[in-house]
Structure 1
Amino acid sequence: MNEHNIAEIRNLAGLATPMALRVAVTLGLPDRLRGDGAAVERVATDLGVSPVALGLLLGHLAALGIVERAPTGYRTTDYGATLCSDADNGLTNFLHLDMAGGRAEMAFVELLHSITTGEAGYSRRYGRDFWADLARHPHLRESFDRQMTHRFRDQIPRLVAGYDWDRFSTIVDVGGGHGTLLAAILAANPRVRGHLVDLEPTATEAGRTFSAHQVEDRVQVTARSFFDPLPEGAQAYLLCDILHDWDDEHAHRILARCVAAVHPAGRVLVVEPVGGRHDNTEFDLAMLVIFGGRERRVDEFRTLASAHGLVLDTVIDLTDQRCLLEFRLAGTG
């Protein structure tokens, strides 16, 4: 019996540390214990939690190096400051149990259900699917929008520079969120006009993004679901990190809306991780358990699109995480 392997697998499978980090962030402990720190009893009183239980949690966080013992009780280490709310690294949203990212991660407790049925575990855990949950709880939608904006932030320069966006006079960003990508495309290509479609209040925030980038005179914003008819006649319909959030049935509905609206000589552009190229196995499981989606492979995209008369022209590696798949209508060049 290999004791090292047993210990390693036990460490991989253990839930104590992942949950301790999530609870620490949810309670705001890294922020509260900055500087000189504070005594367990004082923090417990402020938070309305059990001092004995909080002491156990802080003891484990100290073993992880997130906090350290101090004359005053416990204080956040430089390492632990990575979990502070102002660290601007996306971890708070990913771990906080009452933000979109952290809440969604807890759907992994339903992974067996997802593997058995091929369906999302999120609705089984929370009684409604991810998108209905966002609609019901505005603070979740707000945190989700922030999460998406943060996730793209560092990749936007390469997404913009890696493709000839200037070939299109008009681009509709379908489900474009706060508009950070479309704003960057328009800023870099002064001849291009844009149109963003997303739900409220996301659409309103996108308008502010376009104003901040001084491109508001070349862009429209429509507050609408992408399951409804899209603005017609544009030369390009951009789906960035959209299709992997949906099962095939809903992905077909989204593509059908794009095909119904696109100019006959236009393009449907899909930007997202692609299975076998830039996918991540953990993220792949997350797409399944949260949304019932997945990171599709090139041949799966080709099959999905062909049902709508779309032909895959090219696949471009834009970043180390995302590809661009360019589709045209069959019979056009």
Structure 2
Amino acid sequence: MEKEIISDFPGFRALELNDKETLQPYFRQLQPEISDRCFTNLFIWQEFYDIQIGQFKGNICLFSNNNTTPEKEFFFPPLGQSNVLETLDDCFDFMSYRDIQPIIRRASEKFVQTHLNNQNRYVAKEDLNISDYIYRAEDMINLRGRRYNGQRNFIKRFKQNYSNHSTEFLNRENIPECIRFNDEWLESKLLTLSRKLDIYSDPPPDAVVFLKAEVETAKKILLNFEKLDLTGLAVRIGGGIRAFTVGQRLNNRTALIHIEKSDHNYLGLSQFLSQIFCEQAWADCEYINRMEDLGIESLRKAKLSLGPHHMAKKYNISLRQPD
């Protein structure tokens, strides 16, 4: 009997905050290493990717439905442990039916090893641009050794130049000020970009689109901070918030840093923010996940300079082509 083709979005709808309760047990069981297996990350990027949620054969399926570029139309690996290969078949049939290039993106190495080793229908290819950088928490806190000379010097200069700084954990009282600073940070970045390109062109440059999306995700995190069970830290200088960061536990051993925003007019502030957040919030963790570099050379260089302990690899899964 021929398999019934899945029609246009049967049972799919936009991912929403209330889905956290449904998805959290899956993530707790997974103990994920990659940032994509985290409800907060999916939720804050929902609008940018138009992430939809549905269920195939008892597994949770998440679909990026943004058709602006082929890279934004894909399934995430299904959540669940039963009938996984059959669920993959359904996902690929769904995409083929909609004339979308069939692909699963952002699969963890564990998923590939667990589900794709003993089959010949699918092939997995590592995507270096989206693999996560994993650091030892001890290194990020103590900054020992020659590798971290630059980091230590920036932090020392910051403390010397701005002795009137203070830190505080995020809460409902200071979050509104963080939101205002987030908007101010965007205006500053757009002003810098305007010196290099036309930020008002139609369509807008990719750099502008992604910058605005990044700021919107930060705002979404702040507006839903308590409901997402997050931890954050702000740095005040002269009474005003000039930097903030937000993270959470990704698994029993690892903290995930979602966002860091700092005023670059204060030399050493960004380095201080990164170090003090790890020290004050994540000293009991073994690792810190600082996410991917997106193939941006300057970002890759900066992340590599911090000496990652290892990379959490991610893979794209596609149909195996005949020889």
Q: More strand by proportion, 1 or 2? A: 2
The higher-RCO structure (CA 8 Å, 6+ apart) is: 2
Report the TM-score, using the length of structure 1 for normalisation.
0.22
Structure possessing the higher radius of gyration over alpha carbons: 1
Higher helix share: 1
